[in-house]
Amino acid sequence: MAQTTDLLTIEDLTVSFGTSAGRVKALNNVSLTLSEGEVYCMVGESGAGKSTLALAVMGLLPRNAVVSDGRIMYRDIDLLHAGPAQMRDLRGREISMVFQDAKSALNPIESIGPQLEEVILEHSDVSLRTANRMAQDILFEMGMPDPKRIMGQYPFALSGGMCQRVMMAIALVLRPKLLIADEPTSGLDVTLQAEILQRIRDLVKEMNSSVLLITHDMGVVASMANRVGVIYAGNVVESAQVRPLFSRSQHPYTWSLLQALPRLDDPDRRIEPLPGSPPNMITLPDECPFLPRCFKAQNQCREEPKPKLREIEDRHYVSCYNPVVHQD
C-alpha cells in the first residue's frame, strides 16, 4: 500500500469563548489527522464546535476565544504559533476555507471581480489580465453562466447560493493543498450541490489535496468522505473510515444519528429521533457529555471521567465505555 503522509495533525485542541454568562467550552481535547489526498468529513449537531475547529486551523478565531491546550501542525508548521505574515501567506496559497456564512465572509464594499483577482495576484506571479481570465474561468466552473456580469456585482446583489459559489471560487482558484469547507453546499439545490462536490473531488484528484469537509448532510458524507469524525459537545466521540462508520457505528451518538436517517432500502423502518437536547457548553460535566441522552449508559459512565478515544478496530476510534455491539 502507498505510504500516506499526514498534512494536518490536530492534537488535544481545547478552545473556549469568554462570554458574560461564563466560558463556553467549544472544543475539548480534540485530536484528528488528515492525510494527503484524504477527504475527512466532520459531522455533529449545531453548536458542537465544528466551525470553531475550522477557524482555529485558519488562525481566524474571534478575539474572545482562548486556546488553552493543544497543537495544530500543518506539515511541520505549528499553526498556533505561526506569525500573522506566515499565516497570511499560507491562507490562500496552501490552505483555504469556504466559510459557513459566505455572504458575510465577502467584502461588502468591493465587487466580486477584484476580490477574486486580489487573491490570485497576492499569491501568484501573473498579470492582472491573466488573473481576470482565471477569475472568469473559475466562476464559470462554479456554475455561474455569466461570470463577467457577476464580477461587476457587489455581494448584496447576489443570492446566498451565489455567494457560496463565489466563496468556493475564491477558495479553489489557487488549487490549495488543504481545503476547509464549512457547510459549502447547504443552501444549494441538488444539481448545483453535485457540481460543487465534483469540483472538490477534482481538486483532490489533480492536486492530491486534503479536504476537511463540515456538513450536516449524511448523503454528502457517504458520497465524499474517506474518513469521518463525529463531534459531540466539543468532543470527537468516534472516527472511522466511511464504510465502517455507516455499517458498524460504535458510539451510541453516531448510532442514533444514523437511526434518524430515512433509508430507501428499508422504507418501513421506524425513524427514531434522538431524544433530549445538547448539553450546556458552559457547564459541561467531567463525565461523558452524551450520558443524559444515551441508551447504553451504565454505572461506569456516571462514575468515571469521560472515556478517551481508543482504537477498537483498524483506524476505528471511539470514546465510549459501552459501545454498540454489532452481530457479524
Ligand X SMILES: Nc1ncnc2c1ncn2[C@@H]1O[C@H](COP(=O)(O)OP(=O)(O)OP(=O)(O)O)[C@@H](O)[C@H]1O
Binding site for ligand X (CB under 6 A): 17, 19, 24, 26, 44, 46-52, 62, 64, 100, 281
Closer of 102 and 116 to ligand X (Cβ)? 102
Give the Cα separation of 316 and 314 in Å (integer): 5
Question: Of ligand X, Mg ion, none, which one sits near residue 49, judging by CB under 5 to 8 A according to partner kind?
Answer: ligand X
We find the least distance from the C-beta atom of residue 180 to ligand X, in angstroms, to be: 12
We find the least distance from the C-beta atom of residue 204 to ligand X, in angstroms, to be: 23
We find the least distance from the C-beta atom of residue 3 to ligand X, in angstroms, to be: 33
Tell me the C-alpha to C-alpha distance, in Å, between residue 232 and each of 30, 195, 206.
Answer: 11, 30, 33
- Note whether 40 and 34 are within 8 A (CB): yes
The amino acid occupying position 299 is N
List the one residue out of 105, 172, 89 whose CA is nearest residue 134: 172
Closer of 100 and 193 to Mg ion (Cβ)? 100
Closer of 43 and 320 to Mg ion (Cβ)? 43
Closer of 38 and 183 to ligand X (Cβ)? 183
We find the least distance from the C-beta atom of residue 61 to ligand X, in angstroms, to be: 8
Query: What character string, x for contact with Mg ion (CB under 5 A) and - otherwise, covers 34-53?
Result: ----------------xx--
We find the least distance from the C-beta atom of residue 216 to ligand X, in angstroms, to be: 7
Instruction: Note whether 185 binds Mg ion by CB under 5 A.
Output: no
Instruction: Note whether 209 binds Mg ion by CB under 5 A.
Output: no
Positions 66 through 125 that interact with Mg ion (CB under 5 A): 100
We find the least distance from the C-beta atom of residue 120 to ligand X, in angstroms, to be: 29
Closer of 50 and 306 to Mg ion (Cβ)? 50
Closer of 26 and 79 to Mg ion (Cβ)? 26
Closer of 182 and 287 to ligand X (Cβ)? 182
**# residues contacting Mg ion (CB under 5 A):** 3
We find the least distance from the C-beta atom of residue 19 to ligand X, in angstroms, to be: 5
Q: Which residues bind Mg ion (CB under 5 A)?
A: 50-51, 100
